[in-house]
Structure 1
């Protein structure tokens, strides 16, 4: 459910320098209050309702500790992974985050520059403020940079969805990622209290999501006949897979039975995600259901994880619990606000180095070596007398 728009209010571009005091990836979150206007930060950091799920996404990583190994030969260690036929330098991608002009006047252009500099995968949102062709033009698969992927919201008219698919194919995108869980997005109370309204210059470059309440007949439900009327169904997924030459992934899956059905339907891969806690407050943390989803689909279906990543240790834990790679959302925006493309590139470097340190301590020379045996469930230390 989209918030109403306010007059344009472009914020100035930050200086392209690493902010002092950034020692770890999560420090970019600490800097957010200094770099992002309070009402915008409330919208970005908030989830839904009282933000319980948004907080739980990050807190879930604290329930696991890393088990060290010694006397391991790690001289050939690396973080390369193969995802959808392409080699990623590290198992960390940039999640499809909408409206990036909220924190930087050049929005997704800066994020694409960072992806190009670090050879990192970038997933572009349908609700990006930069056209998909411009973003693709900043990346060079010929130079070994992963092709961008397009995150897709189904449009009210299939011809509009089809037009987006054709644009993505023509621009050289590598995959389509259909979001399944975002039809319902109840506002964060934090954002409402802060008076956030979407700036008029934050305009989606590709389409929209949701049905305006004014378009509903009298007595119709804003939820069932409104928001859910446009939600994807099995027949929509089948149509989409037949309408494009690109592999179709699905994002926003938490239930193991859903994941198994989607894998059986021929989806190219699955993204375990609860949309950053933005649907309905109280939804389970993404990490809590990751192992069950992996068990349900087996080892042959690629699985990405999205939800609460703040450090390389978080990346390690998600990989150990079943993900092939992770996506970084809010932290990406915080780094973009702090230092533009340089900040996002620096964030990716920090996450990669933190992951390597965890791998070294755990005796893992490659991502393939990271498994559930490298983790230990943390007891409730508050209960220990």
Structure 2
């Protein structure tokens, strides 16, 4: 059974971390959003600043070189990181989230000692290689194969397959690769997870994807062509950990993404309020018009509800009361809410909101992805509904 998370950072110390992060995002990152968008990359000095602040390892335990924030603290940080370009958070999101948490929760002590400290420092960027052309939100459908070389327990493995939309793949040093070792059977799904260095023979990273939004957050396809890895590459030392590791890491990540959505929705709201208070129509600020006020009210209500839901879902996770329904409910509501708030932001801005260089135009494109990764909204509904029925039947 998964144990409750134990915070390693006091409330007082965390408030200082939060204040520093807020200052960094608002004073250093926000003024350079257009540069990030135009160049499709986060400037090196911002990356170096994030490393110095410990952001590449904020959710990695202190034992392994990180800051050791629990999920309750993680979501507060995510709401600040979401306020500006999501490319910033994407730089270190996989180290702290879906990739790093697989190692934190399921790796052997030797594997943790080898990889977590350089991940926490930002010297190693890890990518979570799960999604495939034919297997996205449902990991059970993956086709990448890992074949044991030989018949003894000490044999190495050969990995072959194709992964798609892998975050940070173009700059990754390490891939956390999920592969099928056998067909699903009564003993389990037959999915294992491996540590594969990016420079291993047979690993090929495709061209950087051109996306609708989130410029500067890089994704790419990754192919594994008879990639040889040793026995020490099998995370947890057992074949049957992969599916559980994926589901646990994704569930935790869903609460983080929900918090990110709240942060970007807050930004869209703030931009909308500022515009409504200053832009005029017929000599009067448009914010004096009741229909505009109604849109602002809907934005504010969504943000407040999302923030409360995220905090509650994080609390339930940390105390190990609910790690199934609450993460999916938080991600479903908050990412859908962020889409509505961004849409209203464009509407409030009128024609200006459709113009490049205006914050709500970028936000409108950026938030669309939040409803797709870490499991689509449709998958979240299936998780929530099926678990409610299972609980009732028990």
* TM bin (shorter chain): under 0.3
Higher-Rg member (1/2): 2
Larger relative contact order (CA 8 Å, sep ≥ 6): 1
TM-score of the two chains, using structure 2 as the length reference: 0.24
